[in-house]
Amino acid sequence: MSLRVGSPVPGRVVALSAVPDPVFAQAMVGPGVAVEPARSRSDVVSPVDGTVVTLHPHAFVVATSDGAAVLVHLGIDTVKRKGEGFELHVVKGEQVLAGQRIVTWDPAEVEAAGFAPICPIIALDATAESLGDLALDVDVAANDALFDWSR
């Protein structure tokens, strides 16, 4: 069984190693990719169908019915913003569909505040070998495929 993981934001897909944070860059949290987001106010969408199991203004996790969980992190060290500049549209425990709006934010504003707006998208509890068809060094729209996760 394979799970298609979509991009939560529009932008350019890059390798996790490009993320300016060693925890993400060295895939300590898990394998995946990152998106260098377009610098305009935009909606962040769910990468998969599932349940919002973790929700913060700057990060969220959606778990599928079969237990796969995908982490989306909006920028690096953005927890320090304490929610400023992020508008939530769902609640923890809510069922969501791939492509459904979760958060609205402005990556240019995040960058102007001194934070890297890059967005890691991580397959939690996965191996690098279980991810295929990685979109790298390409431009994507929100909900375009980033990778397939063989489960």
DSSP 54-79: EEETTEEEEE-TTS-EEEEE-SSSGG
Predicted TM-score (pTM) of the model is 0.97
**Cα–Cα distance between 37 and 117 in angstroms, integer?**
7
Parse the chain into domains and list their residue ranges: 2-142
The strand ranges marked E within the chain are: 2-6, 11-15, 32-37, 42-45, 50-56, 59-63, 69-73, 87-88, 95-96, 101-105, 119-124, 131-132, 139-140, 145-150
Predicted confidence at residue 1, as pLDDT, reads 84
Decide if 56 is catalytic.
no
Report pLDDT digits (tens) over 24-72: 999 999 999 999 999 999 999 999 999 999 999 999 999 999 999 999 9
**Closest by CA position to 115, among listed 77, 148, 62, 65:** 77
Tokens read off for 47: 């990468």
| Average pLDDT, rounded, for the chain | 97
Three-class SS of residue 27?
Answer: coil
The per-residue pLDDT for 96 is: 98
Tell me, what's the pLDDT at 73?
98
- Residue showing tokens 């079969």: 66
Q: What percent of the chain is modeled with pLDDT above 90?
A: 99
Nearest to 106 by CA among 10, 6, 5: 10
Region 117-137 average pLDDT = 97
Q: Is 17 helix (H, G, I), strand (E, B) or coil?
A: helix
Residue from 107, 124, 116 nearest 47 by CA: 124
Report the CATH number of the 2-142 domain. 2.70.70.10
Determine which one of 56, 58, 73, 89 is catalytic. 73
